[in-house]
């Protein structure tokens, strides 16, 4: 499906956008994690939200508790780790950064460098 965004065509796939928004809503904890609350928070029909949530559970990106609350699933860690790899300081900076940490005693450095 093509949508208009700020006067120009977008190749955004609405179902993927909705799934992403649901995943982010669950991860951010902005609701109680129920399908109904998530649907309401994002302005989605409850059945639509449940279908997307079920798909995300099947893919391991979300999980569902016995009390029917959604939470981040184990496969979401793959995405998180990829982000950390992509944003980590290059290995050649490890030693200079470690020296800065030792000199300044800073606590706001990536774990890989602070070790």
Q: Where are the domains of the chain?
A: 3-74, 88-114
* Rg, the chain, Cα only: 20
Q: What is the mean pLDDT of residues 52-81?
A: 96
pLDDT at 112 over 70: no
pTM of the model as a whole: 0.70
Q: Where are the beta strands (DSSP E) in the chain?
A: 3-5, 8-10, 62-64, 70-72
The topology under which CATH files domain 3-74 is Arc Repressor Mutant, subunit A (1.10.10)
Whether the Cβ atoms of residue 13 and residue 24 lie closer than 8 Å to each other? no
pLDDT confidence bin for 74, thresholds 50/70/90: very high
pLDDT at 39 over 60: yes
Whether the Cβ atoms of residue 49 and residue 42 lie closer than 8 Å to each other? yes
What is the percent of the chain where pLDDT is above 70? 83
Tell which wins on pLDDT, 83 or 69: 69
Q: What is the mean pLDDT of residues 17-43?
A: 96
């Amino acid at each position: 499906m093509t949508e208009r965004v700020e006067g120009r065509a977008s190749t955004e796939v609405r179902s993927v956008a909705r799934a992403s928004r649901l995943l982010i809503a669950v991860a951010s904890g902005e609701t109680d994690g129920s399908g109904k609350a998530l649907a309401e928070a994002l302005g989605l029909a409850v059945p639509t939200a449940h279908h997307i949530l079920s798909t995300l559970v099947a893919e391991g990106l979300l999980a569902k508790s016995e009390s029917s609350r959604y939470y981040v699933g184990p496969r979401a860690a793959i995405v998180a780790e990829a982000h950390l790899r992509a944003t980590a300081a290059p290995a050649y900076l490890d030693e200079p950064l470690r020296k800065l940490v030792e000199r300044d005693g800073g606590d706001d450095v990536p774990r890989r460098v602070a070790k």
